[in-house]
Amino acid sequence: MPTSSPQNSANTPLAIASSTPVSSKPTLPLKAIRMVDARNGWALTASSILKTVDGGLHWNDMAPANAEINRDARGQFMSMQDSWIAIGPANQQEGPGITVLRTTDGGVSWQRSSIPDPTAPRVDIPHFINMKQGWLEMSSTPGAGSAGSDIWHSTDGGQTWTKLASNKSSNGLNLGYVTGISFRDALLGIATGNLGAGGDNTYVLNASHAWATDT
């Protein structure tokens, strides 16, 4: 049974002033959308973080300057105040690592943190269960029919991250290309991946902080 071997991210969160919102209707395809209620909601495109307060008639671009959002960015919109955007490198290039943007004031300001995972440029949707506890699953680009996956965990709302598991044989999961992650609480979660010709795989994190294959 593989067990986790935590590895801390070396990053210093930086407050980023938001760009001035400009009312507009989205002109690019939406990658994600979440309406919190009938009037208020968020959306993500390949270049913008959008927010509406009138049921989608008008949208404001709340992305901070130099956000470098691209088509592979993924977002979780918990409320009208709290959101996380995970951004992998453009064109899924290995090396730069992952950037996570977080706002707690509806996009007026953003905090940036970095996850130094140079071999896993493909990122999944952030999964926060509250304002503190969150997870992020990412994978390398498929090569020779396989891909490696890492799982990172934050206990401070995304300011810092610790690697819980890796596809490396010494401490990791055999997930392949990531397809999803979900946690009920800090002790019980599930992660899924696709192994290509090897089929799908599912792992469960239990109260002993050990990952086991769900058969």
Q: Is the pLDDT of residue 192 over 50?
A: yes
* 120-144: pLDDT as tens digits: 778 889 999 999 999 998 887 665 4
Question: What are the structural domains, with CATH classification, of the chain?
Answer: 7-213 (2.130.10.10)
- Amino acid sitting at position 127: H
Measured between alpha carbons, how far is 5 from 210 in angstroms, rounded to an integer? 10
* 22-60: pLDDT as tens digits: 556 666 788 899 999 999 999 999 999 999 999 999 999
* 74-84: pLDDT as tens digits: 999 999 999 99
Residues in the chain, how many?
215
Q: What is the CA radius of gyration of the chain?
A: 17
Q: Is the pLDDT of residue 63 over 50?
A: yes
Looking at residues 163-176, what average pLDDT do you find?
64
Q: Is the pLDDT of residue 104 over 90?
A: yes
Measured between alpha carbons, how far is 20 from 9 in angstroms, rounded to an integer? 31
pTM equals 0.81
